Amino acid sequence: MRKSIIFLLSVLFGTTTLFAQRDGVEPFKNLSVGLNIGILSGVGIDAGTYVSDHVGLRAGFSYLKTPSFDNDFDAWVEEGQHANYNYEATVKANARVNLSTFKVLADYYPNKKWPFHVTGGFYIGASNIVTVDAYADDIKVNGKTYKREDIKNWYIDLDDTRIKAKDGKVDAAITTWSVKPYVGIGFGNTVPMKHRVGVMGELGVMFHGKPKITSKTAPDIMTHVAEADESDEFFDVMHKIVGIPVLSIRICGRIF
């Protein structure tokens, strides 16, 4: 046990010595360029510099956008068109996720001899983080296929929000703040000083506020519909999340 403790302490202080090279840095004298790879933050590049022994600044761009993918989507045909109650129907949907952002972050090091830091700042990106376009050339109702002109009124339910179709189409989006505050903790230096190349690891949360479901073209959007049916589990979950966890690794090189 004693040997294990001594080994862990030697690794800890050896790592600290390796990373701790901020003592006496001059503001904006050094610059690093980094490659970022993260879970729920995508792939990106940034640049970093020091303001003081305790504060570093980073700015950059992260790309995370899924290609469009098609899937069947549950919809509901309004009362009176083919029965005296609402029919469950199936339409096609095209969905996309867009979490690409610009970022401005500040790294605060409580101890200038340690690489541990607390990070705060902002991610700036599109307000619509998830979009879906549902369209119906044909609608399947109880296993039978109907033409779009035969069923003119249908809608989809997303959580407690009901969106009616227009011209056989429904567009919907989960809308959040375009400017998203961020806080996190990490290990590593904004600019590697002892070596040309360094590594940073960070875990944080990007807050985007309570999401709203919006539509550009729907003629009618009803919210807080008590009888709304769950139409898509992914939307229902995303509609309730106020922040996105971010786990990232930054591999950076000192330019000067």
- The span from the CA of 45 to the CA of 98, in Å, is 17
Tokens of 200: 């940073």
DSSP string over 86-143 = PEEEEEEEEEEEB--EEEEEEEE-SSTTS-EEEEEEEEEE-SEEEEEEEEEEEEEETT
Best CATH choice for the domain 2-254 from the list 1.10.3470, 2.40.160, 1.10.150, 3.40.720: 2.40.160
The helix or strand, by DSSP H or E, that contains position 234, with its residue range, turns out to be helix 233-238
- Write the pLDDT tens digit of every residue in 123-134: 999 999 888 887
- Write the pLDDT tens digit of every residue in 211-243: 888 888 775 666 655 455 555 566 666 667 888
Band (40; pLDDT cuts 50, 70, 90): confident
> Residue 195 gets which letter from DSSP?
S
Whole-model pTM: value is: 0.76
Residue 80: pLDDT over 80 = no
